[in-house]
Structure 1
């Protein structure tokens, strides 16, 4: 591979990492699955495929998430040099000004498409993009607010779809609470692994404000509440199929995570983080399989 080709390839990979493309792809997949199988159960697949308004909203969401990833890495650059040295090394092949140009372009295109869909959709994404920027610029450094804002921004597009389809029910509400709690646990556990770096750069997180023991109590308490929500979903909402198996087996998964957290080692926290992340992905697959089973 020539030096020029290697440099171009490194720039491309650097941009993908800076924009958090893998996160955007996962959220896109989750949005399509939840939209068709949870929020939009009455519409046929053919009608859904040709519902360009929905595709437009998801397209705007993807662009906004990519833009959010770029602006977040711009503000977290110094911290990422220590926490994610490989990624920042790859990203160094692109000047920061080009990341900002990409951020502006993605934001403008997203808002332009949103405007063509409707004024309400445009307002929805203006709010989304503003809080994406505000989180990266200010809110990520404020105790508790950082975790709550991050999780809320992750779930914001799903809330938009729920409002769009006017799909309000006890089951949907409990599933939203379950996902909120899981993502909150993931974010706090992640902060325990970057505790000293966060403190050095002025990020006031739960792990570097409270003692390690208190942080573990908070995470374990959240997992216990999540287990209670899972049991309510199984017993009170009539949930069935793969989703019922998912929430039932999730009880064992969370008990195992609690056991790991009691160990308090860095390795156990890293393992807990990846188990919880994997479980979110398993939930998306379970919803897909459950939906396909219902449609057939």
Structure 2
């Protein structure tokens, strides 16, 4: 009888221990924004091969270890940036993201900092091995990710512009690496920049009260709700203009042409939803815009495959 009770206690302990380890693992993944890093890695590979890389064959691209090294450094830098941002936002996230904070609470903050240092050092070490220019590129990238989390995230407008710029920074690096400068690439960069800017502002609209409480001066808690809505709708209108320019003036073809045409209707729908928006509608608009970026990556992939065949 006692042995049965001991076995039950052992099983309960093992199950709780396993659950604790799993919670720690997912807490680290969420803290490092692992899933965001996966999406950006996919987007980097797709855009690098099908947009920036105009002449290189697929075989040469596969064995271009310098490119893979740069993307590897980018992924580590993104993970490190997510950790340091979580470290500075930990109090705010307890209110704004209670579920994520609950999972992350299974890991002490010092272990997040250790992981941040390890990821940063590995990234810079690999970058130094590739070339001194790549090393400088990533030193600048990682410095501004830390500085954004430490200071810039609390400054009006600068916070949004810096966040979006840091998101696009690796793509800019690949564009420079391949020396791909064209009107089409320039307009696509503006299109993506503006969509990410809208996403960031709408996200701030959802955390308006929490941001104000913890001293984050964002567009929604500095201006009125009506003014903020007008700003977002104005940016969406500019996105429509850029889309039409891409369709009519750059000779964009394949699935990407369908993407920008359908995108006009998606943007119109978002504008309509934002005119008299509730919190639930803002969440819907946020997810629509995020999903539309994913659709754009897939459209670029399909267009690239179509063009290479």
In the superposition, the TM-score normalised over structure 1's length comes to 0.99
Q: Is residue 100 of structure 1 aligned with residue 84 of structure 2?
A: no
Matches of 1:227 and 1:57, distance apart in 2 = 33
Q: 1:111 aligns with which of 124, 133, 138?
A: 124
Structure 1: how far apart are the matches of 2:23 and 2:163?
29
Aligned to 1:285: 298
Match of 1:158 in 2: 171
Deviations 1:121-150 (A, max 9, x none): 000000000000000000000000000000
* C-alpha separation in 1, matches of 2:141 and 2:25: 27
Map of 2:65 onto structure 1: 52
- Off by >3 Å, runs of 4+ in structure 1: none
Q: Distance in 2 between matches of 1:97 and 1:229?
A: 45
Q: Secondary structure of the equivalent of 2:216?
A: coil
User: What is the Cα-based RMSD across aligned positions, in Å?
Assistant: 0.6
Summarize deviations over 1:150-172 as a string: whole Å, max 9, x none: 00000000000000000000000
**2: CA distance, partners of 1:189 / 1:50:** 41
User: Hey, what does 1:123 align to over in structure 2?
Assistant: 136
CA deviation map 1:200-255 (0-9, x unaligned): 00000000000000000000000000000000000000001100000000000000
Which secondary structure does the structure 2 equivalent of 1:94 belong to? Answer: coil
The structure 1 residue matched to 2:203, chosen from 177, 187, 190, is: 190
Q: How many residues align?
A: 296
Deviation of 1:180 after TM superposition, in Å, equals: 0.2
Distance 2:79 2:194 in 1: 24
Is 1:224 matched with 2:234?
Answer: no
- Correspondence for 1:249: 262
Match of 2:189 in 1: 176
Q: The residue matched to 1:79 in structure 2 has which SS?
A: helix
Question: How many Å separate the matches in 2 of 1:287 and 1:40?
Answer: 13
Match status 1:265 vs 2:271:
no
Segments of structure 2 that go 5 or more residues without pairing to the other structure are: 1-13
Structure 1: stretches of 5+ with no match in the other structure? none
1:211 aligns to 2:252 (yes or no): no
Aligned equivalent of 1:133, options 131, 140, 146: 146
Kindly state the Cα deviation for residue 102 of structure 1 after the two structures are TM-superposed: 0.1
Per the alignment, residue 78 of structure 2 pairs with 65
Q: Distance in 1 between matches of 2:60 and 2:157?
A: 42
When normalised by structure 2's length, the TM-score is 0.95
- Distance apart, 1:8 and its partner CA: 1.0
Aligned equivalents of 2:21, 2:195: Cα separation in 1:
38
Q: Which has the larger radius of gyration?
A: 2
- 1:83: how far off? 0.8
Give 1:79's aligned residue.
Answer: 92
Distance in 1, Cα, partners of 2:21 & 2:90: 21
State how far apart, in whole Å, the 2-side matches of 1:264 and 1:275 are. Answer: 14
Cα-to-partner distance string for 1:35-68 (whole Å, 9 max, x where unaligned) = 0000002111111000000000000000000000
Name the CA distance, whole Å, in 2 between partners of 1:3 and 1:206.
Answer: 44
